[in-house]
Amino acid sequence: MRDTAFTKYHIDLGAKMASYAGFNMPIEYSGIIDEHLTVREKAGVFDVSHMGEFWVKGSNALDFLQYVTTNDVSVLSPGKVQYSCLPNGRGGIVDDLLVYCIDIQTYLLVVNASNIQKDWEHLNLYAGKFGLRAGKELYDASSEIALLAVQGPKAIATVQKITAEPIADIPYYSFRKATVAGIENAILSITGYTGAGGCEIYIANEDAPKLWDTVFEAGKEFGIKPIGLGARDTLRLEMGFCLYGNDISDETSPLEAGLGWIVKFNKDFIDKDLLLKQKSEGVERKLVNFDMIERGIPRQHYEICNHDGDKIGEVTSGTMSPSRKVGVGIGYVKVEYSKPDVEIFIKIRERLLKAKVVKRV
């Protein structure tokens, strides 16, 4: 297992540790429910240094990204961030990712930890076509960057105490370079994976101890706590956010996954013709969010059925919502069952428990 620049802090704090995407990561500290509610009500700190970061630079950087991602990178201006995905050439998704526009010839891609090597190899399949060289214009900085996500209603107030740069006015899906905790040229962005507000701070590994100590000192008055991956999962499920490997994969199309809004057909890109055909003909299944009506906790791979007990899909992610005290989940269903308020049933221990399709965000 690989450590992050913050691993020793997790161990010293007594976190329950486990392997995640090959990294030694904290699953929980004080308990998933307590950590979840801390983020919803106060402020919590996530070590997300396991995420991957690739630099794409040069005069052909934009053309390259236009081809390998589904979204329209040309609309980005410096300081903006875009959610997108990498199509795999077969209609599936190599990964979902964030694209940061530093300037018109410099971009930062932030990819999922479990896909760093796969994404790198995939991007290099096409880099040469655009004159990008591995280690030069296309550079893997994943092992050099530490990343903290400070999330919750008191997150911005916490981080504002450790930077002179005004940050409350940074728009959603935007970023600034700033001096944070005395660390120059930190990238401070507003994207979030919890729905609770907050920011992300990208720094060099060697600056990690200073950032960790300063953030927790600044957030002490707000009841700030470290948060593990367990609460990250319950928080994102309450918001209906996808997780690669669970809800989207090489076997799922972005149109099936409800990600048509990040597929822009006004440009040439991998799988454009295939996805255009799929858009024209329609898909057979769609990814939906659902709430349990009857008491039960949906789990990955549970069957989703109709009123007659016929299987119409499968749960991809599920949990008990700590905030709402109801079971919540995500899953693929036949398209005729995908509209909000449609009644479905989750098969739990051979019992069909009533649920309904909902729209979250």
Residue 329: give its domain's CATH number. Answer: 2.40.30.110
Q: Are both 220 and 300 inside the same structural domain?
A: no
Q: Which of 178, 207, 239 is where one domain is finished?
A: 239
Q: Are both 300 and 225 inside the same structural domain?
A: no
Q: Which of 182, 211, 239 is where one domain is finished?
A: 239
Q: Are both 154 and 44 inside the same structural domain?
A: yes
Q: Are both 158 and 228 inside the same structural domain?
A: yes
Show pLDDT as tens, one digit a residue, over the chain (361 residues).
999 999 999 999 999 999 999 999 999 999 999 999 999 999 999 999 999 999 999 999 999 999 999 999 999 999 999 999 999 999 999 999 999 999 999 999 999 999 999 999 999 999 999 999 999 999 999 999 999 999 999 999 999 999 999 999 999 999 999 999 999 999 999 999 999 999 999 999 999 999 999 999 999 999 999 999 999 999 999 999 999 999 999 999 999 999 999 999 999 999 999 999 999 999 999 999 999 999 999 999 999 999 999 999 999 999 999 999 999 999 999 999 999 999 999 999 999 999 999 999 7
219, part of any domain? yes
171, part of any domain? yes
CATH number of the domain that residue 222 is part of: 3.30.1360.120
100, part of any domain? no
- The rounded distance, in Å, linking the Cα atoms of 216 and 186 is 17
215, part of any domain? yes
Question: What are the two backbone dihedrals, phi and then psi, of residue 291, each rounded to the nearest 5 degrees?
Answer: -115, 140
The CA angle 334-335-336, to the nearest 5 degrees, is 95
96, part of any domain? no
79, part of any domain? no
Sheet holding 44-47, edge to edge: 174-180, 183-190, 198-204, 145-151, 44-47, 225-227
Q: Which of 221, 239, 257 is where one domain is finished?
A: 239
pTM > 0.75: yes
**Closest among 178, 71, 58 to 106, alpha carbons compared:** 58
Neighbours of 280 (CB within 10 A): 7
212, part of any domain? yes
Count: domains in the chain: 2
268, part of any domain? no
Q: Are both 187 and 327 inside the same structural domain?
A: no
**Closest among 311, 348, 317 to 331, alpha carbons compared:** 317
Q: Which domain holds residue 194?
A: 7-48+144-239
